[in-house]
Structure 1
Amino acid sequence: MYIKIAKKNINRSFKDYTVYFLTLIFGVCIFYTFNSISSQKLMMKLNEYEAQNFIKIDELMSMVSIFVSCILGFLIIYANNYIIKRRKKEFGIYFTLGMDNQEISNILLIETVLIGVFSLALGLFLGVFLSQGMSIFTSKLFHLELTAFKFTFSSKAFVKTIAYFLVIYFIVFLFNIISISKLEPIDLLTDGRKNEEIKLRSLKTSIITFILSIFCIAIAYFIILSDSSRIIFADRTISIPIAFVVIGTFLFFFSLSGFLLRLIQSNKRLYLKELNMFLLRQVNSRINTNFVSMSFVCLMIFMSICLLAGGFSISKTLNKNIDDLPQYDAEVLYDGKLPIKDFLNKNINLGYYTEDYVTYDLYFNNDEELGIKNYIDKEEIEKNKSNTYVKKDSLIQIMKLSDFNSVMKFYKKEGITLNKGEYAAFGNIKELLPSIQKSIDKKRKIKVCGQNLIPSSKPVMYITMNEIFKSNACTFIVRDDLTYGLTPPLSYLVLNFKGDKVKKEKELLKEVNKLDKNKKSELTIICSTKEKSKANIFGLAGVVSYLALYIGLVFLIISAVILSLQQMSQCADNIERYKLLKKMGVDDEMLNKAIFIQTAIYFILPLFLALIHCIVGLKITEVIVNFLGAVNITLQLLITALIFIIIYGGYFWITYNGAKKMLK
């Protein structure tokens, strides 16, 4: 009997609670997909570093999945709570038929098991197929070649998904037992007839709270925009504007219910039109009751948009940096007293590894502090005030002319010449190059080793020498005789391997690491190779993209589901009121229009404030992207908008149609 009742309940509930079932299936699908990333490497040709990246990403996804499972667990329990409230009258009838709490709990247990099996099966089925498509995305992300497209199945992700969701469903069942034990038959049977008391806050209090919320949000925006570098360098003071944004958001929704209704009431023509009187009181009541959850939804939408747009942009920038790097096989950074070439020849047989290499030094000036702010005009400083390197007044390094020309020859590029008393400049921060060029055009003098220098006729050059993360705001090139009195240099050696490159790379790394371990404390030796650097950058880009997509999607789904369930719950609670409107002569078209407007207002309100937050949030994202290397984020914003429209808009449409079905 219990199984028969449970099946009928599920069939009936499936029509009314499409949102709940869709969320369960979507949650299982996403969970499996992102935990099956490691299985996708079977289709790709990987070197040692790339294989290690897959292992690291798999470990990271496992850790993030614990957080995601907690979030999804909360969401499922939250959704289940609304379903329990929706079925109060049904449970009241069970009580009047002689059932006790234990028998109702048994029915709910069977329902939970059947729903769980159905959701897991369909979610895993969709997840397995979605993971096949993810392999193509992964190969593009890591710039890898698909050796052959194979159907992959991750048994590890399969078992993990089942295990995590079994725990969640068990907690849901316990929650149901607790909820049923607190129910009273008389309250269940009369629940739909109870009127909710709408508590209108003092208009004066609401206006003061609203002004205070705007003030808190404005303060947060001002602090962030005045010094965006605090985000990049993880400054502790970043917690201050974050706190102001959170407080301001909560105060905004807290105050909204106090004057929104009164504001519309002041326009009698609008307030008394069609069902606006009924509709606005419904919206006001819902905001008044759920301002806390609406505030959380607003903040989650904001984070979701920034994560998706920012994550994809940062990933694209990191991948683009690899394409812009000079094509050499290995680089060694050294800061010892001996010239780098002499030191390495003394400790390493360079001839065994290469016949094609070059060394160069970068110096710091002793005569005057050469910071970027000292060189460019005040107008340019103001123009680039949000640029991290301008804010930190990055020091300008100096390079010998002979070293520069040697490097250019190694990179198969043309060198330059300098007359006595001249200097040239290059950098790799594209947005700063016009400001540097203006100083060159104005013949800005610099002082090196007691000698005043003027710029040559050569315009500022865009050159990347060794930075994976572009960080050279400016470097001056001077004649060799001017560098003898400068601060001891950082020395670099770049080379191309001869023979078996893979073998030589491993051997060189082993030798340099051995030297580094046995060195004196004041000596630093760092060796990186092209393949290792590429793998590290692609790995970092992959981590950023996966985290942004994984967490961003989860936050977006949670936001949409919370709004959807609250709106569906309100509609269910007000069935009797809608019936009364029908008796008063309101036709279906007008009722549907009222439901559409009510649902739209409820979905748009948190979205509206979230988009305002995003104007500042995406500005910070742009600063971070520019710190790593300038790239146009328009495409990433369009992709984010498309994802947002599909998921958020989809849940809105399902909610609207679900509410209409309830009224029928």
Structure 2
Amino acid sequence: MTLFGIARKNIRKNFTNYFLYFSSMIFSIVIYFTFVSLKYDEMIAATTESSTRISSVFNAASFVLIIFVAIFIWYSNSFFTRKRKKEIGLYSLLGVRKKQIGRLLFYENFLMGIIALFIGILLGSVLSKFFVTILMKVMGYDVIANFAVSSAAIINTIIVFILITVITSFHGYRLIYRFKLIDLFQADKEGEELGASFFIAVLSIIFIGIGYWLALQNILESEAWRKIGIMLTPLVIIVSVILGTYLLFNTLIVYLLKLSKKNKRKLWKGINLISTSQLLYRMKGNARTLTIIAILSATTLTAVGASYSLYYNNKSNAELANPNSIMFINHDEHIANKVNDKILQEGNHEIIYHKTIPTMQIKVDTSSLNSKMGEIIQEYTIISTKTFNEMAGLQERKDHLSLEGNNAAVLDAGYYEGLSPEYVGSSIPLHVDILAEDITFKKLMKYNVLNPKTANITVVIGDELFSKLEKETDHVNMEAYKFTNESYAEIINKEIESILPDNASFSSFYNDYALGMETAGLIIFIGAFLGLVFLAATGSIIYFKQLTEANSDKERYVILHKIGVNKKEVRKSIAKQVFFIFALPLLAGIAHSAVALTALSRLLQTNLVIPVFICIGIYILIYVIYYFLTVRTYYKIVTK
């Protein structure tokens, strides 16, 4: 029988062991092929208004995916090669040269890669319509995709994955030459119980604590960020957390396990002694793997949580920027009437309110407000207290203002703590022709009753002062409409935009909502799929590692069975041991991502709690599936 025939037979006979590695490769190919297909999809180019940007985003995502998949396949291939040390050692004893063994492993890996590539492209082609429909849906486009297979996407995927497969196959080939015969037969003795230094255990907490503390600092006010540097501090945080995580698994966990061995009552209960000793024995080999998985989990949760939060909060962000469905400056009464007629004729929308708002637009010197961004001379829209209260009532807001004298309130929907002007208690001069009045801000509202794109920052003053200033300047009327089904107002928006002149400063809820859906939908689509690839890879890495250990521990469990330990106790011991390995990186990853997302929510000044909890819940659910699959396979190996 030829080496190629032996390789083919090995894959067929040991397919159960290869299944997760094989399915993970197929999954990676399907996702990559999908990304490349979407890049070349004609319907996306024809439907969306930013097809060039979408293509560049998918290019970037595909590049990230290539790097990650290459590392994952490399890592997995190394695991499988090491797992078969005894088999390779037996080949050597029978006189098979290393060159031939290397070729055998090369053929096996290459054959699996080609089969996975064929199945992945076939599945990707079948699912391409489904993926395009999902993308269009999350981007806010209600269209049904046509079935189409891109030849350019197929060629691209074949070239990339054949290259990855060849490189990883050569890696497996070279790995054979690094093994000595004695090492191959003593592979099971590679575990080593670690020493547990109390100082290094404490150091792990200190490193993680430093990273967390720096991440949760206010970037604009933190002395630490200023001294280290805005560009260097994130690197310090990443290095500190990664180092702390490695020491956590390498030393702190070992220290705690050693402490648990001192509790004799618990240690001698059932076969806890065996489970604890096994964990201590394997921690050296697992520390690096657990660190990688914890960091990957944190990265995945942070990326997916952040991208989903953008999608989740899109509507509320559009409402904050557009409290009115549409708004524009009325320069011509005739044009304003035409707009009104268009809305009345539109059968899909009912007008909730239409308000003509008298305003004044005044250029103001804001140097006294100590603003850290924006121009010193800004144009503010001035409205009266009466107008604010009317608009607040129409928008069902609870605030009611009563301003006297030269007191004022400011409405700033884009207010950012630390960067925006220091309004409350500050005064600014209002110059209208020959009249000058200093107003003092008594209240700050972090929203606006007018659309900021039309009205910019709005200042509310007393009715008397407004009337006094209005006599000295021309007031500007702004038209504000609120109507039903504003999320589906594409047609009416385009019709109104075609009527209005450029200086009308038209703004609408739909325009911002649709743009946000397109951007956030694209990000969540890519984030979700990359997150699934990362999750599949991290789960697979633990799975591979545990199967390797299961084969090594097989004889130990046989001995336990011979001295009277029943299968139920064996399964319970395995479940505890595997749970420990799965739970540690998951908890560390969740903790890291929680800190990162808390820092991000402060930076973006938005609430990420609900979307983050949803992402963590899904992540844990998939991890639980991996856990039960690993326990089941581990148990089957040691009891076979």
Q: TM-score range by the shorter chain?
A: 0.7 to 0.9
For residues 446-595 of structure 1, the aligned pairs below 5 Å read 448=429, 462-467=448-453, 475-477=459-461, 479=465, 536-595=515-574
How far does the alpha carbon of each residue in 1:570-607 deviate from its partner, in whole angstroms, 9 at most, with x for none?
Answer: 22222232233233332222222211111110011111
Contact 1:212 1:248 in 2 (8 A): yes
Q: Which residue does the alignment assign to 1:643? A: 618
Q: Which residue of 1 aligns with 2:411?
A: 427
Decide whether the 8 Å contact of 1:448 with 1:482 is kept in 2: no
Whether the aligned pair in 2 keeps the contact of 1:44 and 1:145 (CA below 8 Å) is: no
For residues 117-148 of structure 1, the C-alpha deviation after alignment (integer angstroms, 9 at most, x for no partner) is: 321233233334444333343233222121x4
Three-state SS of the structure 2 residue aligned to 1:574 is helix
Contact 2:76 2:544 (8 Å CA) reproduced: yes
Does residue 592 of structure 2 align to residue 613 of structure 1? yes
Work out the CA distance in 1 between the residues paired with 2:629 and 2:239.
34
1:398–1:477 Cα contact (<8 Å) kept: no
Q: Counterpart in 2 of 1:181?
A: 177
Residue aligning to 1:660: 635
AA aligned to 1:103 is: Q
When residues 5 and 142 of structure 1 are mapped into structure 2, their CA distance, relative to the original with a 3 A threshold, is same
Cα distance per residue 1:77-117 (max 9 Å; x no partner) = 11111111121222223233332233323322332233123
The CA deviation string for residues 446-476 of structure 1, in whole angstroms up to 9 with x for no partner, is: 56458576889999974252359x996x744
> Which whole-Å CA distance do the structure 2 matches of 1:642 and 1:367 have between them?
48
Q: Map 1:352-363 onto structure 2 (within 5 A).
A: 361=361, 363=363
Q: Deviations over 1:606-631 (max 9, x none)?
A: 1122222233233234335535xx6x
Q: Is the 8 A contact 1:418 1:456 kept in 2?
A: no
Match of 1:159 among 152, 155, 158: 155
Q: CA deviation at 1:404?
A: 11
CA contact (8 A) 1:430 1:462 kept: no
- CA displacement at 1:270 relative to structure 2: 1.7
Task: Find out whether 1:295 has 2:288 as its counterpart.
Answer: no
- Where 1:222 maps in the other structure, the secondary structure is helix
Paired with 1:84 and 1:42, the residues of 2 have a C-alpha distance of 44
- Please list the CA deviations of residues 37-56 of structure 1 after superposition, one character each: whole Å capped at 9, or x if unmatched: 3466628972xxx24x2332
Q: What is the correspondence of 1:220-235 to structure 2 with a 5 Å cutoff?
A: 220-227=211-218, 235=230
Does residue 13 of structure 2 align to residue 12 of structure 1? yes
In structure 2, C-alpha distance between the alignment counterparts of 1:208 and 1:197, rounded to whole Å: 23
Q: Secondary structure at the match of 2:149?
A: coil
User: Deviation digits for residues 421-457 of structure 1, max 9, x if unmatched?
Assistant: 2555353659999xxxxx99xxx79564585768899
> Which is worse superposed, 155-164 or 450-459?
450-459
Structure 2 unmatched ranges of 5 or more: 341-355, 418-422, 431-435, 471-475, 482-490
Partner of 1:207: 198
Secondary structure at 2:123's aligned position in 1? helix
Distance 1:222 1:483 in 2: 51
Unaligned 5+ runs, structure 1: 332-339, 372-388, 434-438, 485-490, 513-524
Counterpart Cα distance in 1 of 2:584 and 2:451: 49
Instruction: Give the secondary structure class of the aligned counterpart of 1:195.
Output: helix
Which AA in structure 2 matches 1:151? F
- Residues 249 and 290 in structure 2, CA contact (< 8 A), matched pair in contact too: yes
Task: Tell me the residue number matched to 2:210.
Answer: 219
Q: In the alignment, which residue of structure 2 is the partner of 1:276?
A: 272
Query: Counterpart of 1:191?
Result: 186
Counterparts in 2 of 1:92 and 1:404: CA distance versus 1, 3 Å = farther
Q: Does 1:255 align with 2:224?
A: no
Distance in 2 (alpha carbons) for counterparts of 1:216 and 1:492: 59
Contact 2:408–2:441, Cα closer than 8 Å, also in 1: yes
Matched residue SS, 2:270: coil
Higher RCO (CA 8 Å, separation ≥ 6 residues): 1
Separation in 2, partners of 1:227, 1:452 = 33
Q: Which one of 77, 82, 89 corresponds to residue 79 of structure 2?
A: 82
Which residue is equivalent to 2:124? Answer: 127
Does 1:400 pair with 2:382?
A: yes
> Are residues 1:66 and 2:63 paired?
yes
Give the Å deviation of 1:31: 1.7
Tell me if the contact between 1:318 and 1:537 (Cα under 8 Å) persists in the aligned partners.
Answer: yes
C-alpha change, 1:282 and 1:619, in structure 2 (3 Å) is same
TM-score, length of structure 1 as denominator length: 0.73
CA distance in 2, matches of 1:274, 1:431: 61
CA distance in 1, matches of 2:7, 2:21: 17
Letter in 2 for 1:108: L
CA displacement 1:18-41 (0-9 Å, x = unmatched) = 321221122112222333334666
Provide closer, same or farther for how the CA distance between residues 281 and 327 of structure 1 changes in structure 2, counting only shifts above 3 A: same
| Partner Cα separation in structure 2 for residue 62 and residue 175 of structure 1 | 27
Secondary structure of the equivalent of 1:17? Answer: helix
Pair 1:56 & 2:57 matched:
no
- Larger CA deviation: 642-651 vs 233-242: 233-242
- Secondary structure at 1:559 match in 2: helix
Distance 1:451 1:115, change over 3 A: same
TM-score by length of structure 2 reads: 0.76
Q: How many residues align?
A: 586
Distance in 2 (CA, whole Å) between partners of 1:97 and 1:545 is 55
1:241-390 matches, cutoff 5 A:
241-322=237-318, 325=322, 326-328=324-326, 361=361, 363-365=363-365, 368-369=368-369
Aligned AA (1:653): F
Q: 2:201–2:255: 8 Å Cα contact kept in structure 1?
A: no
Q: Is the 8 A contact 1:101 1:180 kept in 2?
A: yes
* Pair 1:284–1:363, CA change in 2 (3 A): farther
Shift in CA distance, 614/112, structure 1 to aligned 2, threshold 3 Å:
closer
Partner of 2:578: 599
The RMSD of aligned alpha carbons is: 5.0
Cα distance in 2 between the residues matched to 1:413 and 1:257: 56
Q: Provide closer, same or farther for how the CA distance between residues 252 and 367 of structure 1 changes in structure 2, counting only shifts above 3 A.
A: closer
Write out per-residue CA displacement over residues 190-228 of structure 1, whole angstroms, 9 at most, x where no aligned residue. Answer: 235x53463432x4xx22122222223223323332316
How far did 1:230 drift? Answer: 8.5
What whole-Å deviation, never above 9, does each CA across 1:524-578 have from its counterpart, x for those lacking one? x999998875664334313432342243233323322222222221222222322
SS of the residue 2:14 aligns to: helix
* Inter-CA distance 181–466: structure 2 relative to 1 (3 Å threshold): same
